[in-house]
Chains A and B, each alone.
Chain A
Amino acid sequence: MNDLTQAMYAATRLIFSADALLVSIIALSLKVSFTAVLTAAIIGFPTGAFLAITRFPGRQMLIALLNALMGLPPVVVGLLIYLLLSRAGPLGEFGLLFTPTAMVIAQAVLITPIIAALSRQVIEDAWREYEEQLRSLGAGTLAAARTLLWDTRFALITVVLAGFGRAAAEVGAVMIVGGNIDGVTRVMTTAIALETSKGDLPLALGLGMVLVAIIIGVNLLAHGVKLTAQRFHG
């Protein structure tokens, strides 16, 4: 119990002191995860829409594969990206290892399948309702995909949030490809892992509470936007 009280105290102190270091770590966490989510959405949405409205041999296999990839182990992704970006690896010359860009890549790889698979489900449900009408109006695959993406936008916000949550909470991959370098690639989750290593469990848990609070905050905000917009647009 004592540890938990101390953690609460540490969390409160961290939040109210607005410690510059903590703020920079939070800022980097958000920046990396938002960029990763954006990248994943740009790839995942069209993929999901394409899988939802086209029919071709092997489509079901691809959907099953995509669903399976939602459970990609972060450590494996981290290792893979590490080997690709390492100086000795095929993309070594770009010098991206141990940079925030490497972390964005790792998180994007982790959550693109989540966004693609979930948006595929959302869009396929909408397609069942829209298909005859859109085909009657002469919409081709591309036009139909764009229309469905726009019309399912509120449901897709939830999909994006699922991706963001996974990205922001992930530690295994960003630890490996980012290196947890102080001031450069240290984000909330790796900072928590570090403090745990140092045996400062109350501080680690306090940071954890801050992270959870941020994730809840982002979700509340998005949910509010979604509800307001939905009430207006029906």
Chain B
Amino acid sequence: MMFKNICLALILCVGTVALAQEKFITVASTTSTEQSGLFKHLLPVFEKKSGIQVRVVALGTGQALDMARRGDADVVFVHDKEAEEKFLADGFGVRRFEVMYNDFILVGPKSDTAKIAGGKDILAAFRKIAEAKAPFTSRGDKSGTHAAEMRLWKVAGIDPQTGKGTWYRETGSGMGPTLNTASAMNAYAFTDRGTWLAFKNRGDLSIVTEGDQRLFNQYGVMLVNPAKHSHVKKEMGQAFVDWVTSAEGQKIIAAYKINGDPLFFPNAR
């Protein structure tokens, strides 16, 4: 008798938990778009207009693309052009649309042990850090930001792995935790501007290098290929892709600011 009641209660509980909203898409995206607050600003407008709930799972770009490869997302919204094109070439995406850009910046402590503040040249800054063996925290998580950082080290002709365990620290986590670590140990860190602007625990950190052409950070959006994963919500996913690249979506992206600073610059064609 009691057992039956418990079973019934359980079924009801699971039932209501599972029953939430039926019309939704899952978007695999990056920590920078989620943690900068952009999605909170952008998605309610789309949801209200289309009636489609957008469920964002925020991971590093590498992880987000992996998740989509497994078929666990309908749309990917990430920022690593190279990896995205590989994803397309492997047949997992339908077509890549550019949405917006912002830029990467180098942040560092006030003491500026590597003496790079004020310069524009990111390669020179990286070389100085390596030379001074100044503490540097890296994401180390195959995210878009991490990939961009690694490309810059390569172009600068430095293998940061040689500094591993001494001045070069891989946190293996998201942008926020990496900035928390940098703030706690007064280290340099490579970050996207959006996360930085929304980040609150800055401590002694401030921007030391910005404005270099090489620091350009492009975001792209893709529908996961329904030919690979038949359960992908093709229409609803495409509706979202179309909307963020539409004039309306672009305008809303441009309007998102923290303390008057815009975080992302729309550039869909």
Contact = CB atoms under 8 A, between A and B. Distances in A.
Direct contact of A and B (CB under 8 A): yes
Given A86-B71, A87-B72, A88-B71, A196 B177 contact: yes
Interface of B: 6-7, 9-10, 13-14, 16-18, 20, 24, 26, 31, 34-35, 39-40, 53, 55-58, 70-72, 174-177, 179-180, 183, 198-202, 229, 231
A219 interface: no
Interface residues of A, number: 34
Contacts of B174: 197
B183 A199 contact: yes
Contacts of A35: 10, 13-14, 17
A194 interface: yes
Given A31-B17, A86-B72, A100-B20, 12 more contacts: A35-B17, A38-B9, A98-B26, A98-B57, A99-B20, A101-B17, A101-B18, A104-B17, A184-B24, A196-B180, A199-B176, A199-B183
B207 to A, nearest CB: 15
A106 interface: no
Nearest to B174: A197
A179 B17 contact: no
B179 to A, nearest CB: 6
A42 B10 contact: yes
A181 interface: yes
B13 A199 contact: no
Nearest to A101: B18
Contacts of A97: 72
A59 B18 CA distance: 37
29 contacts: A35-B13, A35-B17, A38-B9, A87-B70, A88-B71, A89-B70, A93-B231, A98-B55, A98-B72, A99-B17, A99-B18, A101-B18, A104-B14, A179-B57, A180-B57, A181-B26, A181-B57, A184-B20, A184-B55, A185-B55, A194-B34, A196-B176, A197-B35, A197-B174, A197-B175, A197-B177, A198-B176, A199-B176, A201-B200
Interface string A180-200: 111111000000001011111
Contacts of A182: 39-40, 56
A109 to B, nearest CB: 15
Nearest to A35: B13
Q: Which of B7, B24, B70 has its CB near the most chain A CB atoms (within 10 A)?
A: B70
A102 to B, nearest CB: 10
Contacts of A38: 6, 9-10, 13
Nearest to B40: A182
Interface string A94-129: 010111110010000000000000000000000000
A9 B200 CA distance: 17
Given A31-B17, A99-B18, A182-B56, A199 B179 contact: yes
A50 to B, nearest CB: 15
Nearest to A95: B231
A39 interface: yes
Contacts of B70: 86-89
A140 B17 CA distance: 38
B195 to A, nearest CB: 8
Nearest to A99: B18
Contacts of B9: 38
A87 to B, nearest CB: 3
Contacts of A183: 53
- Report the 9 A-B pairs with minimum CB-CB distance, sorted nearest first: A197-B176, A87-B71, A199-B201, A179-B57, A88-B70, A100-B17, A199-B199, A181-B55, A199-B200
